[in-house]
């Protein structure tokens, strides 16, 4: 189930927010294609979070299947943790070929009630952290002459229908819209350097976080897609010719259809 000679053979991938949900699925799928995966999040043991899943669990699943991975605890709101994450990856494996910025912290609160502390925390984790982590990995990517950065967005980045009632997602949408513009701008800057930069939204996936926020209801439950679809799409966007596959604002279902992908069962 682990392809030692898969499409990511010899690649080192850092995946943030990989203790559960989409991040975990991406880490597993990359490992299945031969990548050495640096699994990062805040949760190391089950007693540290109210939602199920830890980076220890993710690494154990990869190793049990014959893959290679390490767990690095990181609170991406903290500068020291951001720098330590990349330093740990480089010390363990010698460099980062793929960076997946998936980690998020989200509060659904109306603008009139949104506290500054939580606003800054969301911006730090979902905008500044991807920006700085990219800064940290780019020197190595440039030195080796290749690399991929994949940012995880959301349909919340799309301008909403003003006639529909909101539920406090304005700041979340702001973060994701900023992340998408960062992606296309960085892709433009790196176009001639063999480094691809893309952004992808998952659609509606029944992750622990989505269930906690009660984002699935009677009206949208028919649109729920398996996490394997997102993992497969995220795999496709980190291999190939960067000049032909960069600066994309993608959605998982569209990538699956465009490339005629068959999502694999995860280890």
What pLDDT, in 10s, does the model give residues 198-214? 999 997 776 655 554 55
Q: Which of 107, 172, 191, 251 is catalytic?
A: 172
pLDDT band at 223 (very low <50, low <70, confident <90, very high): low
Q: pTM for the complete prediction?
A: 0.92
List the domain boundaries for the chain. Answer: 12-258
The answer to whether the beta carbons of residues 208 and 230 sit under 8 Å apart is no
CA separation (Å) from 73 to 37, 89, 241? 14, 12, 32
Active site residue 172: yes
139-164 residue pLDDT tens: 999 999 999 999 999 999 999 988 87
Residue 212: what pLDDT? Answer: 47
Q: Which fold has domain 12-258?
A: Rossmann fold (3.40.50)
Band of pLDDT at residue 233, cut at 50, 70 and 90: very high
In percent, the amount of the chain with pLDDT more than 70 equals: 91
The dihedral sign for the CA sequence 61, 67, 73, 75: negative
What are 91-105's pLDDT values in tens digits?
A: 999 999 999 999 999
pLDDT at 124: 98
Higher pLDDT, 169 or 213: 169
pLDDT band per the 50, 70, 90 thresholds, residue 182: very high
Look at residue 53 and tell me whether its pLDDT is greater than 50. Answer: yes
């Amino acid at each position: 189930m682990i392809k030692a000679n898969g499409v990511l053979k010899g690649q080192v991938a850092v995946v943030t927010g990989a203790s559960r949900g989409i991040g975990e699925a991406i880490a597993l799928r990359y490992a299945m294609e031969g990548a050495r995966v640096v699994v990062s999040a805040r949760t190391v043991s089950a007693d540290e979070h109210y939602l199920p899943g830890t980076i220890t669990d993710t690494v154990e699943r990869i190793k049990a299947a014959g893959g290679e991975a390490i767990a690095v605890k990181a609170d991406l709101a903290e500068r020291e943790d951001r720098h330590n994450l990349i330093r740990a990856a480089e010390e363990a494996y010698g460099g980062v070929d793929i960076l997946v910025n998936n980690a998020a912290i989200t509060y659904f609160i109306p603008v009139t009630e949104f506290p500054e502390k939580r606003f800054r925390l969301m911006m730090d984790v979902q905008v500044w952290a991807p920006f700085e982590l990219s800064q940290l990995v780019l020197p190595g990517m440039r030195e080796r002459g290749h690399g991929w950065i994949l940012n995880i967005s959301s349909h919340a980045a799309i301008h909403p229908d003003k006639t529909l009632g909101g539920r406090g997602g304005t700041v979340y949408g702001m973060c994701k819209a900023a992340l998408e513009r960062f992606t296309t701008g960085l892709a433009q800057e790196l176009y001639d350097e063999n480094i691809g930069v893309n952004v992808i939204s998952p659609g509606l996936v029944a992750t622990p976080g989505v269930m906690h926020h009660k984002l699935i209801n009677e009206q949208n439950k028919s649109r729920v897609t398996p996490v394997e679809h997102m993992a497969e799409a995220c795999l496709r966007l980190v291999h190939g010719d960067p000049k032909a596959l960069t600066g994309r604002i993608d959605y998982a279902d569209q990538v699956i259809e465009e490339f005629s992908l068959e999502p694999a069962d995860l280890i």
